[in-house]
Structure 1
Amino acid sequence: KAKVSAVTTEAKAEESTETVVEAESDVIATINGEEISRLEFDRRLNVFRRMNQDVTNVVKMQVVDQLTKKVLLKQFVDKKDISVSKEEVKAELEKITFFLQNNPSNKDKPLEEILETQGSSLSELEEEIGRALALSKYLETAVTDADKKSYFNANKDAFNGARVKASHVLIDTRNMKTDADKEEAKKMIDIVKIEIDKGADFAEMAKKYSNCPSAEKGGDIGFFQRKGSIVEDFAKVAFAMQVGEISDPVKTQFGYHIIKITEKEEGKEVSYKDVSDMVDFVYMQLKTEEILKDLHDKAEIEIML
Structure 2
Amino acid sequence: MKKVVSRLKGLAQTLKKPNLIKKSNAKNSTKKTSKQTSRRGLSFLAIVIILIFLVEFSFALSIYAFKSTDNITKSVAKAIPYPAVFAASGVSTVNDFWAEKEYIEHFYNSTKQTDYSEEDLVKQILKQEAENVIIKKEAITYKKSVSKEEIEESMAQIYEGNGGEEEVEKALQDLYGLSVDEFKNLVEIQLLRDKINKEVIARVVARHILIRVEEGASEEVVNEAKTRITGYLTEIKNGLSFDEAANKYSEDVGSNQNGGLLESFARGDMVEEFEKVAFSSAIGDISEPFQTSFGWHILKVEEKTGYVEESFDNWIDELMAKNMVIYLFKG
Do the structures match in fold with TM over 0.5? no
Q: Which structure's CA Rg is the greater one?
A: 2
TM-score bin, normalised by smaller chain: 0.3 to 0.5
Q: TM-score, normalised by structure 2?
A: 0.35
Which structure shows the bigger proportion of residues in strand conformation?
Answer: 1
